[in-house]
Structure 1
Amino acid sequence: MTLRPFASRTTSRRRLLGGAAAGTLGAATLAATGMPAAQAAPIRRQPAPTGAYRIDLHAHFLPPDYRASLLEHGHVTIGGYPTPQWSPEEAIGFMDYYGIQAQALSVSDPGVSYLSGREATDMARYCNTYAADLFRTHPTRFGAFAVLPMPDIPASIEETIHALDTLHLDGVVLLTAYNGVYLGDPRFEPLMIALNQRGAYVFVHPAAIPADAKPELPLPDFLEEFTFDTTRAATLMMVTGLTQRYPGIRFQLAHAGGTVPFLSHRISVASQTVLADLWPEELPKPSVLDMKNQISRFYYDTALSGSPAAMASVLAVTGRDHIVFGSDWPFSAATLPQTGDRDPTPGLSEIFDIEQRIEVEHHNPLRQLPRLAEAVNG
């Protein structure tokens, strides 16, 4: 593909770290040489790609009425992060500065689950219609994942049908849990049937843990709890057989899968422990090989996880073709590198070369979202 150079423009958005980002991973060097860390050769960084080529599958939006409603209902922070401002113009400025060709937008936690009944269904319809309107005004810059009025399953099925079949959104965003009920629970089965019938791409985003269900630590949820909640949901989806029953659904796990890659062996050995004797008869009993296969089928995004440690862990459980780029903007604004060559994730170049980065940041996302791919490439 031909990569276009950045437009020369000034913007208040942060500049990136990064000129010549990454190369062979230190861990790989140690494995190959057997040398202790103090003697290992220094990491050689590969050059970073240039141009506006990235396709962002973990990017959030807050339409005006939705953001106003969040604040009205006391959601002044999301996962401990102050609820940010958002506008299409700011999003395009961010993308232009950081070499992002297009974003697939989604609503973050708490979705519309802080509302109920007609208020929730109306707000979901408002957000999804707002996103579809962006396709008309900025057809090559935005895609979107539909928010659903969960945990109302009948209303969520109706909104799924409207969002995917009528509005032609690119997929659906689901939170890891609703009112403490995690994905994988039988109550969500009718919705999964509808999603599977459509071969839907489903972005799984963590939800905040209720205060009475987590330790009292002086840390915001987005630092650690979000990753743990993604792990809980993914594990339950596998052990209840959801990911086996609905192979038509492609699930993207936020933030490099939380801790799923790191815990993959531990999760897989459940069938070799006393748990195997206690396993409910109505559920498929997981095997080590099957669990490893299910873990490998998830898609993992790089949002707030574009480090050699995180990516090496993901590559240990799946192929590079299951890694997609994510910025987590605007929630990640304060964490973006501030110097260098406008590379939002310079750590990726410590494990991927230029062609591999283009695969992860451009080709892999577009393979999953054909409508957006047609718009971008048309």
Structure 2
Amino acid sequence: MVRAESSNGKKGTGLLGVGRIDVHQHLLPPEFLAALERHGLKTQWAPVTWSAEGALAMMDEQDIATGILSLSAPGPHFGNDIEANSLSRQINERQAALVQKWPDRFGMFACVPLPNVGGALEEIAYAYDVLSTDGVILLANTNGIYLGDPAFDPIMEELNRRHAVVLVHPNALAGPPAKGVRPSAVDFLLDTTRAALSLVFNDVPRRFPNIRMILSHAGGFIPYAAYRISQQSNVADPVDMLHQLSNFYFDTALSASPTVLPSLLPFAKPGHVLFGSDSPYATNKTIGYFADHLDAYPGLDLAGHAGVNRKNAEVLFPRLAIG
């Protein structure tokens, strides 16, 4: 795909030279880092550094016009509801301040203190009514309980009422990782797959149709294994199950490869694939590696590339639309 010059002199991959919208970009705010440190988890969950200025520099380098920020795993809850409620509020207010300062460059997915359902409902209300959040991030599982569990129905009801955009992000699996295998390399993909199946098996997409859910990392194993799953699951209608799975949105974070794209793009509903970087956990070099594979992919025409890079996300986030 030919990269056009944008109005600020940077290279842009989107339609008319306008850069990408990145729906999978994380922040590591000081409140979160301090909480990880208190709980002895900083080395495990925060092996990289982050700053707003560094994020903007990365975005300029990678042709990203806007990054929708979110808090990655393990989220804001470390076992104490009061701490989790306070931490969620601090992080969301910090995100909102960044969006206010750079409204064209940043958006936000508000974090919520699950498994505290009451606290999560309060934070959703504050995030939408006070902070004007662009959406909400939910971890695929919390203490081994997946998103489709009826315990989370009140959350889904509220998100449905608000026509929310939700980023479903993987978390650590309940069991121990395989020796020598980083959880983010394989377990995260399984966690997202489990969450998607939990949602479908519990009829969440049909019961709460106004929620637009984005599955991280191309949906884990869903596009590749969906037909196998539909035939080996106890469902009355495998075709309907495939329809529900393909109706999720999927981001390309760490996933826009020559082997994933031929599976993802035919499986996902048209318009349901979105650009994602996974910065700062993915380095600039890694982000560029996958972005270059996406831009070189011959299975998309010019409009298809513009859709994945920007236009599909504009439908979910109309404040970022350029017309």
TM (norm. structure 1) is: 0.78
Aligned length, in residue pairs: 317
Tell me if structure 1 keeps the 8 A contact 2:247–2:268: yes
| Poorly superposed stretches of 4+, deviation over 6 Å | 47-50
Show the counterpart of 2:96.
132
2:52 to 77, 85, 88: 88
2:314 to 344, 347, 366: 366
Show the counterpart of 2:249.
299
> C-alpha deviations, 1:22-53, integer Å up to 9, x for none?
xxxxxxxxxxxxxxxxxxxxxxxxx9989551
2:293 to 347, 351, 373: 347
Show the counterpart of 2:136.
172
**2:19 corresponds to which letter in structure 1?**
Y
Cα distance in 2 for partners of 1:156, 1:372 equals: 26
Show the counterpart of 2:264.
314
How far the C-alpha of 1:181 sits from its partner, in A, is 0.5
> C-alpha deviations, 1:122-154, integer Å up to 9, x for none?
100011111111122111100000000110001
Tell me if structure 2 keeps the 8 A contact 1:55–1:362: yes
- The answer on 1:198 being equivalent to 2:158 is no
- The answer on 1:256 being equivalent to 2:218 is yes
Cα distance in 1 for partners of 2:44, 2:146 equals: 19
Cα distance in 1 for partners of 2:43, 2:269 equals: 35
Tell me if structure 2 keeps the 8 A contact 1:106–1:145: yes
Show the counterpart of 1:152.
116
| SS of residue paired to 1:86 | coil
1:4 to 3, 6, 23: 6
Show the counterpart of 2:281.
331
Identity over aligned pairs, percent:
38
> C-alpha deviations, 1:228-265, integer Å up to 9, x for none?
11001101110111111111111100000000111111
| SS of residue paired to 1:219 | coil
Cα distance in 2 for partners of 1:143, 1:326 equals: 13
Tell me if structure 2 keeps the 8 A contact 1:52–1:96: no
Moved more, 47-56 or 157-166: 47-56
How far the C-alpha of 1:367 sits from its partner, in A, is 0.9
Tell me if structure 1 keeps the 8 A contact 2:48–2:281: yes
- The answer on 1:231 being equivalent to 2:231 is no
Show the counterpart of 1:222.
184
How far the C-alpha of 1:361 sits from its partner, in A, is 0.7
Tell me if structure 2 keeps the 8 A contact 1:3–1:53: no
- The answer on 1:74 being equivalent to 2:40 is yes
How far the C-alpha of 1:357 sits from its partner, in A, is 1.3
Show the counterpart of 2:65.
101
**1:294 corresponds to which letter in structure 2?**
Q
**2:239 corresponds to which letter in structure 1?**
L
> C-alpha deviations, 1:101-124, integer Å up to 9, x for none?
000000000111224221100100
Tell me if structure 2 keeps the 8 A contact 1:98–1:343: no
Cα distance in 1 for partners of 2:7, 2:318 equals: 25
| SS of residue paired to 1:289 | helix
| SS of residue paired to 2:115 | coil
Cα distance in 1 for partners of 2:199, 2:306 equals: 30
**2:84 corresponds to which letter in structure 1?**
A
1:246 to 208, 217, 221: 208
CA 1:243–1:8: 2 relative to 1, 3 Å: closer
5+ long unaligned stretches in structure 2 = none
How far the C-alpha of 1:370 sits from its partner, in A, is 2.1
CA RMSD of aligned residues (A): 2.3
How far the C-alpha of 1:334 sits from its partner, in A, is 6.3
**2:255 corresponds to which letter in structure 1?**
S
Cα distance in 2 for partners of 1:335, 1:286 equals: 45
Tell me if structure 1 keeps the 8 A contact 2:159–2:211: yes
Show the counterpart of 1:187.
151
2:86 to 89, 98, 122: 122
Tell me if structure 2 keeps the 8 A contact 1:235–1:267: no
Query: Relative CO higher for 1 or 2, CA cutoff 8 Å, sep ≥ 6?
Result: 1
